[in-house]
Structure 1
Amino acid sequence: MLSSLISGGITGGAVALFSAPIEFIKVQRQLEGSKLQKNTLEWGKFIFKNHGLFGFYKGLPLHFLRDVFGTGCYFTIYETFKYASMQFLQPGPMVHLVGGGVAGALSWIVLFPIDLCKSVMQREALKPHPQYQSVFEFIKLRYSNEGIYGFYRGISPQLVRSFPVHGINFIVLEFFPMILQFILLGAALADSPDCSNISELKGQIEAYDEIISEENTILSNFITTKQEEIEPIETPEKMNAVHTILQCDKKYVADLYFYGDYIKQNTTRAFELYKELSDAGEKEGHYMVGMCYATGMGTVRDYSKAQVYLSFAALLGEKRAFQTLGYHNHAGIGMPKSCLNALFHYQQIADEAIEEWRSGPPFGKKLPPLPMKLDELQGGIYGKGASGMGNPELNMKESKLDELDLIMLYRLQAEAGDAVSQFLLAQFYYFGSAKVPVNYKKALEYFQQAAKQYPTSTKADKSEDAKHLKEVSIAASRSCGFLGQMYWRGEGVEPDIERARKWFERGVSQDNAASHYGLALMYMDGVGIPKDFARALRLLNEASTMGSNEARVLLAEQLLGNTFVDFTKVVSLLEYAAKGGYAPAYYHLSKLLGSGYPGTSPNCKNALIYAKLFVERTNWHDSTLEKADLAFKRSKFSAALAYYSIAAEQGSEIAQVNAALILDTKIAPKHPPLMYSFEKWNPYDFAIVLYHRAANQGHVDARVRVGDLYYYGFGTNGTLDDELTFKGPRLSHVIAKQIHKDIPMAPDFAQAVLHYSAAAEGEFSHSSIAMFNLGYMYEHGMGVEKDYHLAKRWYDLCLTTNPGSYLPVQIASVKLHIKWVISDLFSLWRNLFREKAKSPQSQIPGEELIEEPSNAWGNENSLIFSLVAVFLGLVWYRRLLMGMFNQRVNPPAALQ
């Protein structure tokens, strides 16, 4: 209402300045007639000749007051009526007609006295002897003679005129743009291309026109591979199809240019197309323009503009914009951190996601596949046994075989009749993975084979046999739960409720938790059997006790529906389910913690963590990560990087690490100018930001890698100044500078130490690599004061955390001890020299000018390397002498 009043007033003021001269002449002609002048032109000449240009603006204050106040009231009344009528009237012409009429009539009731005063004072303005010296004199005289009625004389015709006139005015105002748009759209449709074959053209573009290597070629060792990127081939037929589709589906063509899946990547062109969509008011256009500004792809990175476009997209209902804004508020990207704002944005998506999950088949809608973690293909960023905590004992249970090798092994054992292998193989096919696509028919076949092998007795003479029987019984009973679920949902087979119930009953007899849960659902909803709520609750409690996360959440939901809720039990059930990774538990915990429940205050921090987890696990609204994984498997690294970069801005830790690894391992775009708006391409500028964001979400290897980048100075926006070099070893930096000749280096050892410390002293994990690096930094005094004691402590902690680091730690420790001894010897020598210099008996003339001897070797490292070189030289010389001696003692046979 206030905005309408202000904007209307400003509009009225602007109109008054332009309309005042014409209004002044109109008043003269209406009130004076043709006494002085015959027509409008002569009146204009008369006023200008006798009063100049400012003569046209006589009476302007009252005219200005009338238009400012009147127009503001006019639009305010109309907007208020329109808003109020929404409660009981459907939007349409009648609302605009009545609203405009009411606004016109009411505004004239308020303005009529002002308009009268204005007209009278303008009439008197040109008289040599005006009747009224001021407007106040006129008001006083009129009121004393006629009372308040005198100011409203003649208002009835004005009101009769204003109602229809202003009503029609607003009908035209509201509907003319729509009519005009309809006319223009009809003209455009007459000349528009035929869009009936768009699906066929899209199929032609997406068809592979190059030989694609095996999908898994680079998956086992992508970090060190020399795999070439497969670039799309642009044929005239393909580009003609693109131009045709552009007229019908601009969003599709913009995506083609942005991601570069099927045509050569050109994010600048994509940004132009997205901007056109945004200008047309489409939410997808707003969203992608915002993401271009956020990622720096297609335009210069500008988070302030990104927030504007993303906010407009969110207002139009774009779920991806809500997710991105939620993460930006959470991490403080381009705006101050705000837990409440972040939680609000995530819960907008979460509320819809939980309903979508419930609308699915029994057991809920199947969750999207987990995204591929590129770092885990190598066992972590730093390799298996080194990444994370780096303790080999933690990975003893993990197989050293590749996923495909495991499947081959399980298949051989399954064909031999091993129930455990049959069950594990069935799970591979049921859930799928980065290398194994989902195959319900094969999963059903192997589950059936495993379920038939439930042992009649679990007793055995030997402990090994008893253990094997127990494993077989678990595999068989769990297979029953999967089979009941598959027959009920119709996965790999036609839905069959009766067979599903039988499998659940069989699983219940074998103490399977999932079967208890499935049968409880049937009793609760009366599916295939009569409803029995009491029995359903009993089965749910048993399933919960056995470890069913689904049963725990359903029990919690039932408890929340009671009149008196035991929130302690509810939260306990949900927390157990959340620890098991069951997504709906995240949603309920987010709701409870966000609003608080009796006895507790709202916990926004934990509520936000659960909301973010739920949204990212139920991301049916966005297939970006799936497309990214597919592009990477097909060796389309530029496309994969674009997809991962978009998902990284949405807050996906996996996408952040994946995008950073592609940049960090030189599987970077071949044509960066077509992707990023920078003259000088430096992949580390983006990699360090992505690693840092992933580290802030708890990725310990990413934290260590950020420390490495600060140590070498990559992505720190500076250059390495040889004149202002640091104290300590320079070999690693010299080598790095030779390898990355075109990339500026600006080491920041203080920042490196901070990140290594955070990784080494983490709350939940302790990186052995970070510990070793801290030992090295303390040993050489890089970013910290040199301290051999702390260096030794960190080396020892590294070995304790990761016994696999025995060799490098021992070498570093030996080197440290040698330096320690040398340092102590030099210290002792310097102390003795000082004592001698201070002795009065040994004082000789000029001795006070003798400087304290410095370390002629430069530092301990140089001394150690020199001693090692001398030692190796002596060994070589001794071997040479021994060889010459042997030749003399035992000459060759030919010389004897």
Structure 2
Amino acid sequence: MITVVSRSWTVWALLTLLALLVAVGGTAVAAAPADSAPPAAPTPPPTSPVPTEEAVAELSLAEQQYRQAVALRDLQDATQKELRHAVRLLYSAAGIQHLSMARPQQAQQAQQAAAADGAGAQQGDKGKAAAPEFLTAASVRLELRNDTVPHLGALKELIYVYREGDGVPVNPAIAHRLLRLLAELGHPEAQADIGFHLAQGIEPVAPNSRDQLFRLVTPDIPAALVHYTFAAQSGDPVAQMSLGYRHLHGIDVPRSCQTAALYYAPVAEKVTQSAQLRDGLPEIEPVELSHKTAHSRRGPSSEQEMLHYQWFADFGNVEAAREAARLLAHGTAADHEQAFKYLLQAADAGDSDAMAHLGNMYANGQGVAQDNATALIWFRSAADMGNPAGYLGMGYMHMAGHGVAKDYSKAINYLSAAAGQQGGYGRMSGRLRDVRASAQFFLGQMHLKGWGTPAAVKQAAHHWEAAAKLGHLLAAYNLAMLLLGGQTGKGAGACAAAVALLKGVAERGFPAQQEANDDFQAGDYEWALLNYLKAAEMGVEAGQSNAAWMLTEGYGYEGGAEAGRAALALYKRSAVQGNHGALLRIGDSYWYGKGVRRDWRRAAQMYHEAGRHASAQALFNQGFMHQFGAGLDRDLHLAKRYYDDALKRHPDAELPVRLALRYLRLQQWWEGVQHRLPAKWAAAVTATLFTVSERGPAMHGPTQHVSPARGHAAALWSARLRRIVTFDFLFDSLDAFFDSRGSGDSNVDLTVAMTLLLVLALVLWRRRTLRQNQARQFVQAGVPAVVPQWLQEQQRQQQQQQAAAAAQPAAAAVAAAPPPLAQAGRADAAAASSSGSTAPGGSGGAELQHANGEGQGSGGAS
């Protein structure tokens, strides 16, 4: 009994001591933050002990599996085993129980029916292959577990897995099925992607014999608009830009400028915010695909340029030091310390641009400690030398009061000088354009707020309009807001001008176009086409024209009528946005029957519209059509006027125009002499050489898939030969001469070089033929004439070889025998003299014998 009581007392004592320790410890922990510095914005404790949904998600098993899978996929040297393990983790996190491709019975039956039809087809259709069977997302079997909610991040990562083939075979159909599931779960980006596929009629397919990633089908616009609407309401910029573009031009939706502004405004605001960050906006290279740019090599990368400039800068070149500093300060891997070193080198040599750049680095604390006083010194040094960037720096420092007292009058003077300075620069460079744009923007801000000048909204809008034309994004956005607010007094045209500004700002923030450029340069034409189509759907004119060109020329897609229809629709959208070259391409579509019925009258109308915008190729095409009476009335004089006008518009196209004019002269001569020949002969020649026919199927039906990895060179050459059989090759074989708009076209240079080589080959062939005829004349006819030196050398070598061969069996007999060639010459000469013929230059025979005698003597000695 005593033992039990003592034990219970011991237990109670221990419990009491533990409670005291807990209480003391809690007091110490609560008092610890009081000794440290208080945070700038203390966060109040949660009012409820229940954890938030984000905390639960972070602690969930699906989140842990997702993070582990991403960590495995991010490894640079990840093995296939690790990648497959990452796929299994993503499956588990996404709640996928079963995923496979199922070949439907309908597809098998259709394939068997196509094979049976092909076996019983007529002789003319035996060469046509049956349409291949494509497995799409409808053939994917997907089963989810009922006890879990799919992890959206894991689903998105699985889409990348099947697109890139990391740990699993590449399968666009499975990736598209997962994308549809992600869209059904309310993911805005997935909804926008599904809307893009439906709007452009893109249907990803499983691996197939043609190695296609997708096929083009009939677009489903209502379903696309539904997906776009849900994604836009959730703030997806791709959907917002797509709907804004459609409402701006009334494409499948009511045309409304105000609605377009509501969609474009939030995207433009995000872009302006991103532009003010340190990384800035992605660089978008303006590329217009053509036969020239498709086969041209990309210039050196920024890293290669930097090494080039650094090499010359280390030898003391001031301009190289400045350019190296520019690349180091604004490149992808900025190194401000190195940039500061090269700028200091150039500034010490008296370079005003480097001085202004040093002032900017000191003002912003890039590469050096922030120091407004030193920045002001460098800005003043550059401004004293008349540098516009120095004027801009001085104006900003006086406007903001950095390093100097605020002085709005001086700020306006300096900024005005920066905005109008052009001396010593010639054509406006990119650096000068940015300086002038920034100066105009700050002037507009001062006029808007009344700093140093009476507040004037219209004057601010004037400066911002000038800055927007020079590419200043924030000025364009602010001007658009003023226009939408009705503060500029432009009236009815204010909305359209504002939407145009917002559209331009929004398009600068998304790299779909640049990704397409990179894919095209890398030879990955399928992904390049998809990215161009995505940019086209967002309203980017360059994406529309480039995607249409790829579909027309067969880059990235192997198809026929559906590719032609899609290309024609894209060209029409591009033409509405001011691309006059698209009018020419639309005319080509009607001329060749690409995506539409062949109609040369409509083609002539499109060429006429393009010719009004100074398109040299459109003028050339109209001249051809007048020359042959194809789609236009036959008029040779009018054809010559169009040819001359095309040459005036585009002097680099002199070769094709001169050839066309020569052929036109031949045709004029033929029309003057054809009545002298029999009617049947004249009609046959006219129909063969001077007539083109619109009858028959489209010349360019199914477009060949031009890709280096496909190996279709033989098919392409056969198609070109089929074109040459008809006279249509005159119309488009010289298109490459009109693709470039600047001087020094490489296509022209290449053609001129090939022409010179051809002329040289003809000259050499003619020279060789003359020599052979001359030798035959001297040897066979025995005409006494002056023997050329080269013939003497040839005869001497022959005599030496014959004498050396005969010297072994009978040296003496051979030495006494006369040369066979001399005997032949004497016999021929005797025959010529007996026949009564005369030959001038009788000394030639003596020279021939003397030469033969020398050959005999040398041969005998050997």
TM-score scaled to structure 2, two decimals? Answer: 0.58
Which amino acid letter does the alignment assign opposite residue 600 of structure 2? F
CA offset at residue 566 of structure 1? Answer: 4.0
2:448 corresponding residue in structure 1: 560
For the 8 Å contact 1:822–1:860, the answer to whether it is kept is no
Which residue, out of 332, 339, 348, partners 1:452?
A: 348
Report the CA distance shift for 1:612/1:281 in structure 2 as closer, same or farther (over 3 A): same
1:753 corresponding residue in structure 2: 604
Report the secondary structure of 1:890's partner residue. Answer: helix
Report the secondary structure of 1:793's partner residue. Answer: helix
Instruction: Say whether 1:308 aligns with 2:226.
Output: yes
Report the secondary structure of 2:573's partner residue. Answer: helix
Report the CA distance shift for 1:748/1:286 in structure 2 as closer, same or farther (over 3 A): same
CA offset at residue 312 of structure 1? Answer: 1.8
Which residue, out of 760, 766, 776, partners 1:887?
A: 776
1:505 corresponding residue in structure 2: 380
RMSD: 4.7
Report the CA distance shift for 1:692/1:452 in structure 2 as closer, same or farther (over 3 A): farther
For the 8 Å contact 2:482–2:488, the answer to whether it is kept is no
For the 8 Å contact 2:360–2:393, the answer to whether it is kept is yes
Q: Distance in 1 between matches of 2:770 and 2:643?
A: 40
Q: Distance in 1 between matches of 2:296 and 2:599?
A: 25
**Which structure 2 residues correspond to residues 66-465 of structure 1 after superposition, within 5 A?**
193-196=61-64, 198-205=66-73, 236-237=84-85, 239-244=87-92, 246=94, 247-248=150-151, 249-250=153-154, 252-253=156-157, 255-256=159-160, 260=164, 266-298=171-203, 301-354=219-272, 357=275, 360=276, 367-375=280-288, 380=293, 410-432=309-331, 440-454=336-350
1:111 corresponding residue in structure 2: none
Which 5+ residue runs of structure 1 have no aligned equivalent? 1-178, 212-231, 385-398, 455-475, 673-677, 718-745, 834-850, 869-874
**Which structure 2 residues correspond to residues 597-746 of structure 1 after superposition, within 5 A?**
597=487, 599-603=489-493, 604-617=495-508, 619=509, 622-625=510-513, 627-628=515-516, 636-660=524-548, 662-663=550-551, 666-668=554-556, 683-714=563-594, 716=595
Report the CA distance shift for 1:414/1:881 in structure 2 as closer, same or farther (over 3 A): closer
Which 5+ residue runs of structure 2 have no aligned equivalent? 1-49, 95-149, 205-216, 422-434, 693-723, 728-762, 781-790, 796-819, 825-862
2:699 corresponding residue in structure 1: none
Report the CA distance shift for 1:791/1:342 in structure 2 as closer, same or farther (over 3 A): farther
For the 8 Å contact 2:165–2:171, the answer to whether it is kept is no
Q: Distance in 2 between matches of 1:554 and 1:191?
A: 50
2:114 corresponding residue in structure 1: none
CA offset at residue 703 of structure 1? Answer: 4.4
Number of residue equivalences: 582
2:436 corresponding residue in structure 1: 548
Report the secondary structure of 2:631's partner residue. Answer: coil
**Which structure 2 residues correspond to residues 868-887 of structure 1 after superposition, within 5 A?**
887=776
CA offset at residue 861 of structure 1? Answer: 1.6
Of stretches 327-336 and 880-889 in structure 1, the one that deviates more from structure 2 is 880-889
Q: Distance in 1 between matches of 2:165 and 2:638?
A: 52
CA offset at residue 411 of structure 1? Answer: 4.4
CA offsets per residue over residues 417-440 of structure 1, 9 Å max, x none?
2322332343344444xxx86655
For the 8 Å contact 1:257–1:269, the answer to whether it is kept is no
CA offsets per residue over residues 42-68 of structure 1, 9 Å max, x none?
xxxxxxxxxxxxxxxxxxxxxxxxxxx
Q: Distance in 2 between matches of 1:568 and 1:191?
A: 57
Which amino acid letter does the alignment assign opposite residue 202 of structure 1? V
Report the CA distance shift for 1:608/1:194 in structure 2 as closer, same or farther (over 3 A): closer
CA offset at residue 816 of structure 1? Answer: 0.8
CA offset at residue 329 of structure 1? Answer: 2.0
Which amino acid letter does the alignment assign opposite residue 508 of structure 1? A
Report the CA distance shift for 1:878/1:376 in structure 2 as closer, same or farther (over 3 A): closer
Report the CA distance shift for 1:666/1:496 in structure 2 as closer, same or farther (over 3 A): farther
Report the secondary structure of 2:203's partner residue. Answer: coil
Percent identity between the two aligned chains? 26
1:573 corresponding residue in structure 2: 463
Q: Distance in 2 between matches of 1:559 and 1:349?
A: 27
Report the secondary structure of 1:448's partner residue. Answer: helix
CA offset at residue 817 of structure 1? Answer: 1.4
Which amino acid letter does the alignment assign opposite residue 541 of structure 2? E
TM-score scaled to structure 1, two decimals? Answer: 0.56
For the 8 Å contact 1:556–1:570, the answer to whether it is kept is yes
1:37 corresponding residue in structure 2: none
Report the secondary structure of 1:198's partner residue. Answer: helix
Which residue, out of 353, 372, 379, partners 1:478?
A: 353
CA offsets per residue over residues 74-109 of structure 1, 9 Å max, x none?
xxxxxxxxxxxxxxxxxxxxxxxxxxxxxxxxxxxx
For the 8 Å contact 1:595–1:602, the answer to whether it is kept is no
CA offsets per residue over residues 465-524 of structure 1, 9 Å max, x none?
xxxxxxxxxxx2222232333343344556554543443233233333333333433343
1:591 corresponding residue in structure 2: 481
* Greater length-normalized contact order (CA 8 Å, ≥ 6 residues apart): 1
Q: Distance in 1 between matches of 2:774 and 2:652?
A: 44
Q: Distance in 2 between matches of 1:756 and 1:382?
A: 26
For the 8 Å contact 1:778–1:791, the answer to whether it is kept is yes
Report the CA distance shift for 1:254/1:662 in structure 2 as closer, same or farther (over 3 A): farther
2:630 corresponding residue in structure 1: 782
Q: Distance in 1 between matches of 2:299 and 2:513?
A: 27
1:767 corresponding residue in structure 2: 615
CA offsets per residue over residues 372-417 of structure 1, 9 Å max, x none?
3454798646979xxxxxxxxxxxxxx9999888666644543332
CA offset at residue 652 of structure 1? Answer: 1.9
CA offset at residue 712 of structure 1? Answer: 3.0
For the 8 Å contact 1:271–1:292, the answer to whether it is kept is no
For the 8 Å contact 2:274–2:281, the answer to whether it is kept is no
Report the CA distance shift for 1:601/1:532 in structure 2 as closer, same or farther (over 3 A): same
CA offset at residue 855 of structure 1? Answer: 1.7
For the 8 Å contact 2:180–2:190, the answer to whether it is kept is yes
Q: Distance in 2 between matches of 1:798 and 1:409?
A: 41
Report the CA distance shift for 1:751/1:565 in structure 2 as closer, same or farther (over 3 A): farther
For the 8 Å contact 2:363–2:371, the answer to whether it is kept is yes
For the 8 Å contact 1:329–1:338, the answer to whether it is kept is yes
Report the secondary structure of 2:252's partner residue. Answer: coil
2:16 corresponding residue in structure 1: none
For the 8 Å contact 2:87–2:158, the answer to whether it is kept is no
